[in-house]
Amino acid sequence: MRHIFFSFLLPISLVSVPDSLSNLDYRSLLSANQNLAAVPANESFYTAASRMVQQQIDLIARIEQAMTTPDANRIRSVQGQLTVYTKFVDAFLNRQYKSPKTLCISRVDVTENLSFLAEPLTESQIKIYCSLYASNQELLKLTPVLDRLLSRRGELALVRPLPLVSGERQSDSVLAIAPMQLPNLDKLATPFAIQEPNVVSPPLPIIGRTAKTAIADYVPLAQPAIAPPAEALTILADAKKFLTAAQVEFPLKNQFTNPQETSAVLDHFSYDIDPQEPQIYAAFLKLPRTGIFRVLLDSAYQRPLDTIQNRLAPTVSERYPFPLLGDTQGGFTPSLALQLVGDRFALGHQGVDYSFMVDLGDIPLTKLDSRLQTVTKPTREFFLNYQPPKQLDDLQVERRRFLTGKDQNWNLNQVILASAQAQLNHTYLVRSLQFQLPDIILNNRKLSPQERQYLGQAPQLHSSDILLAFRPVRRRADGSYTVLWRVLNQFPSPQINDLDKYSSN
């Protein structure tokens, strides 16, 4: 029955859905397949076959992506594309040889069966022909898999009924004139869990005590964990193997594009530095404890409201981790989690981490050293002599002082904040304090008597206190910056002396 629906699958199922592969020309498959009989009979074998191999490569990439996305419309789109494309390939194969199975599996002597050939095929053409046949047969196995996946996606988002074949009508069982809302597979399916509260969370949690929440007893919806079926991955791997064998047989080499490679290039373009930038600043990067990276808007690390994401998919921060500033100790490594919040530079913090920074103006990074001799005396003395509190509650109070700018008694003529206005070609001085609190304290969890007896001592704390500077050297159209950074000094690791009080509750 699946072939009956060609007339309506083509207008909607072959339309692309915005994602990391949005650069691909998904409509090329539509234009090629709208009329199977439109392919000229005298078209060059290599021309037709190369187009189908490329379209099959693109289709596999879309199927792979659809299997890991929560969007039900993505599954429905590739279902229609798979149905139409396999029929298209079958038509091409049958025009060349009436029995592909006989030629490719039984290995008949083609020269003795010229009556079955539309035109004589060379050895390379036969290999391409059979590779397309084999890959097409593999892809047909995905039909029941995609059906099962669509059923599961229906648990996350609304799956609207597809329109009927042209000329048929559907009436509502209760109200005959009730309109039927048709799906738009070019857009994301409407998730069931929508209307999330737009609650601005406090900048940082309060550790060691129970804090009020904006909405009492509200628990955010857990995002689904979606892994592609092993059966589907095996099928796609086999299809790719056959397509690879076909590609090497074409006269023109390297004429095929890999959608995954294209997507990776675009992903780097969106979130990473340009390849030539390290070369431009090679002299600076030869200095010890220096680096270069791209400061993104904080929205790049956040999930938009009323959307569903696969929590198994690598996030931006996982694909492009923040620079590491020091050596690893007990699984803890200090990092430069610099982001752009509005029009200000700020460090993303966890637990009781905090930092403060000042804009030094147009001072080259190479002019700064561990003694800050080129910095004004009040600022220099504050950044070099600052001592963090040693009590957990005092640390959190200190953190709020830098976040708000209130209750500061530093004997300075300026307020020291945790953020600074972003300015191109300005240098920023930062003091960053980071702590790896034990989970039992970070999550405000009480220890059971057995756990308390097992610990027998205060939890171990890993921490860092680093003086560094960074300088934005390029601003992109999306508002992100390329920055150079340099660690100037590393102070003794700060300690929290009353952690045992919080772990013994």
Q: CB-based burial of residue 303 (10 Å sphere; 0-12 exposed, 13-18 middle, 19+ buried)?
A: middle
Confidence of residue 29 (pLDDT cuts 50, 70, 90): very low
Confidence of residue 17 (pLDDT cuts 50, 70, 90): very low
Where is the domain boundary, 219, 239, 261? Answer: 261
Rounded-to-integer distance, Cα 31 and Cα 25, Å: 11
pLDDT of residue 180: 62
Rounded-to-integer distance, Cα 470 and Cα 281, Å: 14
* 442 and 297 in a common domain: yes
The answer to whether residue 456 sits within a structural domain is yes
pLDDT of 27 above 50: no
**Contact indicator for 473, 281 with CB cutoff of 8 Å:** yes
3-state helix, strand, coil in the chain (%, to 5): 40, 15, 45
* Each residue's pLDDT tens digit, 454-475: 554 555 788 999 999 999 999 9
Q: What is the mean pLDDT of residues 121-147?
A: 94
Confidence of residue 4 (pLDDT cuts 50, 70, 90): very low
pLDDT of 197 above 50: yes
Share of the chain above pLDDT 70, in %: 78
Tell me the backbone φ, ψ of residue 325, rounded to 5 degrees.
-105, -15
Residue that is written with structure tokens 């020269």 in the block: 111
* 297 and 253 in a common domain: no
The answer to whether residue 438 sits within a structural domain is yes
Confidence of residue 200 (pLDDT cuts 50, 70, 90): low
**Contact indicator for 204, 349 with CB cutoff of 8 Å:** yes
pLDDT of 382 above 90: yes
* 237 and 292 in a common domain: no
Confidence of residue 75 (pLDDT cuts 50, 70, 90): very high
pLDDT of residue 16: 37
* 278 and 365 in a common domain: yes
Residues 6 or more apart whose CB falls under 8 angstroms from that of 396 comprise 204, 206, 207, 352
* 287 and 243 in a common domain: no
Comparing 112 with 77, which gets the higher pLDDT?
77
**Contact indicator for 149, 67 with CB cutoff of 8 Å:** yes
Query: Can you name the residues that pair with 472 across neighbouring β-strands?
Result: 483
Q: What is the mean pLDDT of residues 231-248?
A: 96
**DSSP sequence for 444-493:** TPPPPHHHHHHH-SPPP-EEEEEEEEEEEEEE-TTS-EEEEEEEEEEEPP
Q: CB-based burial of residue 227 (10 Å sphere; 0-12 exposed, 13-18 middle, 19+ buried)?
A: exposed
pLDDT of 301 above 70: yes
Rounded-to-integer distance, Cα 236 and Cα 249, Å: 21
* 154 and 280 in a common domain: no
**Contact indicator for 495, 433 with CB cutoff of 8 Å:** no
3-state secondary structure of 358: strand
3-state secondary structure of 319: helix
* 89 and 58 in a common domain: yes
Lowest mean pLDDT among 7-11, 40-44, 52-56, 263-267: 7-11
Whole-prediction pTM: 0.81
* 376 and 347 in a common domain: yes
* Each residue's pLDDT tens digit, 201-217: 555 667 767 767 777 77
The answer to whether residue 39 sits within a structural domain is yes
The answer to whether residue 46 sits within a structural domain is yes
* 96 and 21 in a common domain: yes
* 315 and 184 in a common domain: no
Rounded-to-integer distance, Cα 503 and Cα 500, Å: 5
Query: Can you name the residues that pair with 344 across neighbouring β-strands?
Result: 341, 421
Cβ atoms within 10 Å, residue 269: 11
Average pLDDT, the chain: 83
* Each residue's pLDDT tens digit, 391-448: 999 999 999 999 999 988 888 888 999 999 999 999 999 999 999 887 777 776 665 6
Distances (CA, A) of 210 to 188, 205, 216, 440, 503: 38, 10, 12, 14, 15
pLDDT of residue 480: 97
* 184 and 277 in a common domain: no
Confidence of residue 307 (pLDDT cuts 50, 70, 90): confident
The answer to whether residue 498 sits within a structural domain is yes
The answer to whether residue 215 sits within a structural domain is no
Most confident among 11-20, 410-419, 474-483 (mean pLDDT): 474-483
* 276 and 257 in a common domain: no
Strands, DSSP E only, in 275-406? Answer: 290-295, 338-341, 344-347, 354-361
Q: What are the tokens at 472? A: 């934005």
User: Over 40-60, what HEC string results?
Assistant: CCCCCHHHHHHHHHHHHHHHH
pLDDT of residue 179: 58
pLDDT of 494 above 90: yes
pLDDT of residue 96: 86
Long-range interactions of 10-14: CB distance < 8 A, separation 24+: 10/34, 10/80, 10/84, 12/77, 12/80, 12/162, 12/183, 12/184, 12/185, 12/186, 13/76, 13/77, 13/78, 13/79, 13/80, 13/81, 13/84, 13/185, 14/77, 14/80, 14/81, 14/84
Rounded-to-integer distance, Cα 248 and Cα 243, Å: 9
Bin 156: left if φ > 0, else alpha if -120 < ψ < 50, else beta: alpha
* Residue 30 structural domain: 2-190+229-261
Query: Can you name the residues that pair with 485 across neighbouring β-strands?
Result: 291, 470
The answer to whether residue 195 sits within a structural domain is no
> How many domains does the chain divide into?
2
Q: What is the mean pLDDT of residues 170-199?
A: 71
pLDDT of residue 98: 81
Comparing 22 with 293, which gets the higher pLDDT?
293
The answer to whether residue 413 sits within a structural domain is yes
Lowest mean pLDDT among 8-12, 69-73, 337-341: 8-12
By residue count, the chain amounts to 505
Mode of pairing for the β-strands spanning 338-341 and 344-347: antiparallel
